């Protein structure tokens, strides 16, 4: 299967040569993205392809991870896809940057908890580039913002590992329609909300965010 849409070449010599960067130019249907990831993961595991970080957007969908509870599906407003990633229900849609991360932990550190911690560090560093203070919360997956008296989620994490090659990844809310999250309990957390760059009054294009994500990559994945 060919990579969907155009590759975006690295623009700095210090980015890891083994990592390829792709950015989809149009919205990618979830089944197509999953098929591409599974094929790429197999090729990486066999030593036939480089590691890959893939930027894309999906049409409005809900995805359910391996820990998803049916009671957290409040209103099936959009297509629902059951996935093999960790986590619970989440939403993907226009205005949200999804980054699927296919790294070979055999050549890094064979520790999934360390990998997830690095994803969190990556997201926090990216948010800091825009003056947003992202934080971890004990017992909650993803990255959170203290918005007045309420905490809101701005980034989600859901991963799977096959033959020590990672896939799925992270999603960062730039300017999605936040009302679309109302059909689910995002990540099973009922007492907190969701937010985005736009909701926080931070103006940033998807290209701005992509550049920041790439700049901060080696801080989390040296």
Dihedral Cα 24, 29, 32, 33, nearest 10 deg: 50
Is 45 one of the catalytic residues?
Answer: no
Query: Are residues 221 and 118 in contact, defined by beta-carbon separation less than 8 angstroms?
Result: yes
SS3 call for 218:
helix
Count of H-run helices and E-run strands, the chain: 3, 11
CA 80/CA 90 separation, integer angstroms: 10
Residue with tokens 């560090």: 121
Cross-strand pairs, 63: 81, 90
Burial class (CB in 10 A: 0-12, 13-18, 19+), 47: exposed
Q: Which of 187, 204, 209, 213 is catalytic?
A: 187
β-pairing, 19-23 with 51-56? parallel
> Catalytic site residues?
187
């Amino acid at each position: 299967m060919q990579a969907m849409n155009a590759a975006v070449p690295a623009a700095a010599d210090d980015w890891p040569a083994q990592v390829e960067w792709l950015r989809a130019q149009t919205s990618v249907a979830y089944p197509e993205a999953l098929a591409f990831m599974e094929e790429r993961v197999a090729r990486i595991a066999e030593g036939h392809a480089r590691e890959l970080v893939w930027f894309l957007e999906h049409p409005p969908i809900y995805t359910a991870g391996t820990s998803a509870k049916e009671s957290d599906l409040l209103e099936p407003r959009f297509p629902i896809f059951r996935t093999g990633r960790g986590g619970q229900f989440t939403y993907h849609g226009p205005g949200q940057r999804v980054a699927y991360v296919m790294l070979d932990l055999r050549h890094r550190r064979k520790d999934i908890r360390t990998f997830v911690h690095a994803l969190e560090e990556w997201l926090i560093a990216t948010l800091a580039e825009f003056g947003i203070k992202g934080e971890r919360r004990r017992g909650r997956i993803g990255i959170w913002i203290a918005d007045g008296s309420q905490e809101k989620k701005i980034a989600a994490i859901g991963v799977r590992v096959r033959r020590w090659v990672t896939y799925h990844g992270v999603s960062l809310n730039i300017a999605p329609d936040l009302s679309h999250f109302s059909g689910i309990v995002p990540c099973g957390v009922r007492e907190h909300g969701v937010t985005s760059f736009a909701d926080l009054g931070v103006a940033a294009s998807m290209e701005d965010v992509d550049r920041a994500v790439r700049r901060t990559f080696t801080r989390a994945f040296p």
